[in-house]
Structure 1
Amino acid sequence: MSTPSHRVPVAEQVEELLAAEGPLPIVAAGDPVLRRPAEPFDGQLEPALLARFVEALRRTMHAAPGVGLAAPQVGIGLRIAVLEDPAPVPEEVRRARGRVPLPFRVLVNPSYEPVGGERAAFFEGCLSVPGWQAVVARPARVRLTGADEHGRAVDEVVSGWPARIVQHETDHLDGVLYLDRAEPRSLSSHQAVAERWNQPTPEEAARALGFPLPR
């Protein structure tokens, strides 16, 4: 499916998307909308339309399923993303990855910067790159700034897996895919990750596939 033309007013694009029932179509890698920096949100959607759009993003994220979804992934070039992770993982994985539950939240015009020099590397996937995962080394802690859907300022430090989700989704708003930051030799199918590389950390995969991990 082609994405709505960026020449059409964004409110019209959103109304057109929401006219159909069910989850929104997710744009796949190769579509230019995923490579254009998204436009800062500055009231392009009236509050009622923004609320409907956010709810549609949430339903689409749940249906996929995923733990985050950025507006460009449904063809809308606005700096808006939704995040939520119930973190249904074993305790060993939770400890190794810092994967704790992340309640549903909306990020508007987010940005992040590293806090400290620690980096963590784990497999990531993306709803816009279906069927594949790769190891990405990211800052373990970041300062997140921006706003929520009600315009309230956000300024906080996020760590562990929630920090990874924040970075992944904010990158989408800058036209960056996780593969741009990934170790190329780590690229693996979902099946390979499930059968071979489902350990809490990617150390075994790094040895077998020949890619470095941060020290």
Structure 2
Amino acid sequence: MFAHNSKVDLELNRAVERLIKTGGKDKLLPIVQAGEPVLRQQTARYTGQLSKRTLSKLIDAMHTTMLEAPGVGLAATQIGLGLALAVLEDHVRDDADDPREIAELPFHVIINPSYKPVGDETRSFYEGCLSFDGYQAVRRRWLDIEAEWDDESGKHHKERMHGWPARIFQHETDHLSGELYIDKAEIRSLATYENLEDYWCNDPVPTEAAAELGFDL
């Protein structure tokens, strides 16, 4: 829980306003790529450092940037900002038999998020990142988690998440601790978008990729 305007950091607030302006009328912010130090830093916990107006503008710009990329999540570090904040959104695909268990994930703002596994089941699927553009790799993640976060109004949430939404939450929360998905991915699975489409688009689990490329699921 945080109180708006009680601890506004004027210098940071001005810096974020400048960042937002880089998006122009389209509100599209530059997404930093692997190698940028901010992606490897522990973010600062959000305690109301931004004015309510600036926070709202930042969230709007992050949401617009995420959708345009396109992506299903965007962490503040990915736009060069070291605050513990991310946005998420994903929607059900046409394939009801998709083994990734994709489910509806309405737009969320997650501030100071954390998670812990529920049970010990994991799943391994190809995963990508807007800050490691052009590639995907297989990453093992918890199937079920208990997620906690504050929303933009300061309200605290606790929710059990399963399947693909749980994967998205883990991916974006890890960003805020300086981790990229590739850190714990199966490196032998690393593929360009083009090769993923050519070879493994019909292998979501991905057993064929594991056998052919030589990694364990």
Give the TM interval when normalised to the shorter protein. over 0.9
* Match in the other structure for 2:20: 18
* Match in the other structure for 1:203: 207
Shift of 1:27: 0.4
Aligned partners of 1:82, 1:14: CA distance in 2, in Å? 16
The alpha-carbon distance between structure 1 residues 89 and 205, as it changes in their structure 2 partners (threshold 3 A), is farther
CA-to-aligned-CA distance 1:164-208 (integer Å, 9 cap, x gap): 000000000000000011011111111111111112311110111
Shift of 1:16: 0.7
Gaps of 5+ in 2: 1-9
Aligned partners of 1:56, 1:115: CA distance in 2, in Å? 33
Aligned partners of 1:116, 1:48: CA distance in 2, in Å? 40
Residue identity opposite 1:99 in structure 2: I
Gaps of 5+ in 1: 1-7
Residue identity opposite 2:91 in structure 1: P
* Match in the other structure for 1:71: 76
* Match in the other structure for 1:186: 189
Aligned partners of 1:157, 1:16: CA distance in 2, in Å? 37
CA-to-aligned-CA distance 1:3-42 (integer Å, 9 cap, x gap): xxxxx93222211111131300000000000000110001
1:175 matched to 2:152? The reply is no
Identity level (%) = 48
Aligned partners of 1:206, 1:74: CA distance in 2, in Å? 33
Contact 1:114–1:139 (CA under 8 A) maintained in structure 2: yes
Shift of 1:89: 4.3
* Match in the other structure for 1:4: none
Aligned partners of 1:64, 1:126: CA distance in 2, in Å? 10
1:161 matched to 2:164? The reply is yes
Aligned partners of 1:171, 1:197: CA distance in 2, in Å? 26
Task: Name the SS of the counterpart of 1:185 in structure 2.
Answer: strand
Contact 2:74–2:88 (CA under 8 A) maintained in structure 1: yes
Aligned partners of 1:41, 1:172: CA distance in 2, in Å? 15
Aligned partners of 1:89, 1:125: CA distance in 2, in Å? 20
Q: State TM-score, norm by structure 2.
A: 0.91
RMSD value, Cα: 1.1
Shift of 1:60: 0.2
Task: Name the SS of the counterpart of 1:90 in structure 2.
Answer: coil
* Match in the other structure for 2:7: none
Contact 1:92–1:200 (CA under 8 A) maintained in structure 2: no
Contact 1:13–1:76 (CA under 8 A) maintained in structure 2: no
Residue identity opposite 2:15 in structure 1: Q
1:122 to 122, 125, 132: 125
1:48 matched to 2:53? The reply is yes
CA-to-aligned-CA distance 1:114-149 (integer Å, 9 cap, x gap): 110000000000000010000000010011112111
Q: How many residues are paired up?
A: 204
Task: Name the SS of the counterpart of 2:63 in structure 1.
Answer: helix
Residue identity opposite 2:215 in structure 1: F
* Match in the other structure for 2:106: 103
Residue identity opposite 1:112 in structure 2: Y
